Chains A and B, each alone.
Chain A
């Protein structure tokens, strides 16, 4: 399936040199926005807008739960500075055309990605679920529940994780965790999303 890219600045999903960028052609029936200003177009099969911590509704507008068209949001999951994973989170609205969803799924699956579909929520699936856990792990570290190494080892040995929460945060960058958690907290206002102290410190140091 052919796709056209409209890019402005660096994409977190497809950094410079990513093979997916090389497959783009002009005039395709799928338009992918990577940072460029979005323009509606009902004449193409699907329009995809790369999201960060923003919702799709910011770009398309919302209409009392009736919003939806041929436009979907997406993000390739990435742990901060780590390379992007193979996961594409597709973001739909209540009235999104099924044909557009199917076309978007097919496009990314043909390109070798694993695709999931979720509603238009800050943090989509992964960040919504994992950020509270990371906040708690950082809180445990402050409270002396265990050392960082023991917490990570426990998750690897006890849960079979590839890496533990602290080493993952350190590798991806605590400031990224702050940014994502802050975006979640700003929308949901539940303490579980409030950035943990160590993430806030990392962010403040970045701003020095």
Chain B
């Protein structure tokens, strides 16, 4: 498989997702420009990346030589003009339409005309994001899963104006990078989040309705459906506040009642029960007690 893409830029490379995407690109042999507005975030990401590659060496997945070569391909920068010669720029910045549109507008000015822009959005419309620049035919959805450096799946979505040539080139790049692309339409949440977010909300509503305890709901889903993790465990892991953000992104667009944040979710966030990161969510991580049991 051939690709004209040699140099990749990652915007938001100081974040968890952006750093993971940069690893995917560098590991696959692409010169990778890691752009972020924060020096500190880039430094943090670099330390995490070093640690990731060192573990890969320890586990025998990568040789020390390949690690050093891959790390050498990662070039941090806080200057957007350093992305000017990139063939592909993947943005993984804050999940906000105007933020992404503004970024694409700046990239439009900074990058050569042939550069393809890919958005890692999980909820927003590719077509709307692309409207922030003058090359909407060269913008594509490329949604990685967390952690990007470990998860193979990428949801690929063309916007209304995306050219076939752009989509094919971006698709081919994901395959060369060792990922597994799937094609979806440009719809809220694509496949993954469109199925998952309402399902998780339904589980919260079942707790609120007193159908069963969180532990029994998770156990039923894991044993009955052979899932690795129950929906409430997953929400605790992702963060209840993040679940609200997802709901608030979906519901105004879809008006699907299942996508609206359940009242219990809002109450728990108001009470500071954010999940694992706060020590309490549907489960209490201090003493394993359960909320709502």
Residues in A lying within 8 Å of B, measured CB to CB = 77, 79, 85-87, 89, 114, 116-119, 121, 124-126, 128-130, 132-133, 136-137, 140, 143-147, 150-151, 153-155, 157-163, 165, 190, 192
A157 with B152, Cβ < 8 A, contacts A126-B224, A145-B184, A146-B185 known: yes
Known: A114-B223, A158-B145, A192-B258. A150 touches B199 (CB 8 A): no
In the complex, the number of residue pairs spanning A and B with C-beta atoms less than 8 Å apart equals 135
Would A89 and B220 count as touching, CB distance under 8 A? yes
Q: Which one, B190, B196, B202, contacts A159 given CB within 8 A?
A: B196
Tell me whether B183 and A119 are in contact (CB under 8 A): no
Q: Which of B38-46, B61-69, B210-218, B242-250 participates in binding chain A?
A: B210-218
Nearest opposing residue in chain B for A162, CB measure: B226
User: Closest CB-CB distance, B234 to chain A, in whole Å?
Assistant: 9
Given contacts A133-B198, A158-B191, 18 further A-B pairs with CB under 8 A are: A77-B220, A121-B211, A124-B211, A125-B220, A126-B224, A129-B221, A132-B258, A136-B198, A144-B185, A146-B182, A150-B183, A154-B153, A154-B184, A154-B192, A157-B145, A158-B145, A161-B227, A163-B226
Give me 14 A-to-B residue pairs in the complex whose CB atoms sit less than 8 angstroms apart, sorted by A's number: A77-B223, A119-B210, A125-B220, A129-B206, A130-B199, A145-B194, A147-B183, A153-B153, A153-B182, A157-B152, A159-B192, A161-B228, A162-B227, A165-B195
- Residue contact A130 to B185, C-beta cutoff 8 Å: no
Partner of A118, one of B180, B183, B216, B225: B216
Q: Which chain A residues lie closer than 8 Å to B135 at the CB level?
A: none
Residues of A within 8 A of B206 (CB): 125, 128-129
B211 adjacent to A192 (CB under 8 Å) = no
Which B residue sits closest to A168, measured CB to CB?
B225
Residues of A contacting B178 with CB < 8 Å?
A: none
- Chain B, interface size category, equals 35 or more
- Choose among B153, B185, B196, B231 the residue that contacts A129 (Cβ–Cβ < 8 A): B231
Contact yes or no, A154 B219, CB < 8 A: no
Across-interface contacts of B155 in A (CB, < 8 A): 154, 158
- Chain A contacts of B187 at CB under 8 A? 145
Pick the contact of A77: B152, B216, B224 (CB < 8 A).
B224
User: Is B203 among interface residues, defined by CB-CB distance under 8 A?
Assistant: yes
- A119 B211 Cβ-Cβ under 8 A: yes
CB–CB B221/A145 < 8 A: no
Contact A116 B211, CB 8 Å, known A129-B206, A133-B195, A154-B191: no
Q: Answer whether A132 and B202 are a contact pair too, CB < 8 Å, given A119-B212, A157-B151, A158-B153.
A: yes
Q: At the interface, yes or no: B290 with Cβ under 8 Å from chain A? A: no
State whether A126 touches B225 (Cβ < 8 A): yes
User: Are B219 and A160 in contact, CB atoms less than 8 angstroms apart?
Assistant: no
Chain A residues contacting B226 (CB-CB under 8 Å) are 85, 161-163
Nearest CB in chain B: distance from A93 CB, A: 12
The smallest beta-carbon distance between A112 and chain B, in angstroms, is 12
Interface membership of B257, Cβ < 8 A: yes
B216 cross-chain contacts in A, Cβ below 8 A: 116-118, 125
Say how far B261's CB is from chain A's closest CB, in angstroms.
16
Minimum-distance CB pairs A-B, first 4: A116-B216, A77-B224, A157-B153, A125-B220
Q: Give the chain B neighbours of A147 by CB distance below 8 A.
A: 183
**Is residue B238 within 8 Å, beta carbon to beta carbon, of the partner chain?**
no
Known: A125-B216, A129-B221. A118 touches B191 (CB 8 A): no
A132 and B231 alpha carbons, distance in the complex (Å): 14
Specify which chain A residues have a CB less than 8 angstroms from the CB of B182 in the assembled complex: 146, 150, 153-154
Establish whether residues A116 and B220, one from each chain, have CB atoms under 8 Å apart when the complex forms: yes
> In the complex, A98 Cα to B81 Cα: how many Å?
69
B229 within 8 A of A: yes
A125 contacts B191, CB within 8 Å? no
Docked complex Cα distance between A190 and B209 (Å): 15
Q: Are B229 and A160 in contact (CB under 8 A)?
A: yes
Most A CB atoms within 10 A — which of B182, B191, B229? B191
Q: Measured between alpha carbons, how far is A116 from B248 in the docked complex, in Å?
A: 32
Contact between A146 and B191, CB atoms less than 8 A apart: yes
In the complex, what residue of chain B is closest to A121 when comparing beta carbons?
B211
CA distance in complex: A33, B255 (Å): 44
| Chain B residues near A89 (CB-CB < 8 A) | 220, 224
Q: Which chain A positions have C-beta within 8 A of B225?
A: 79, 126, 130, 161-162
B212 contacts A151, C-beta separation under 8 Å: no
When the two chains form their complex, are residues B228 and A114 in contact, meaning their CB atoms are under 8 A apart? Answer: no
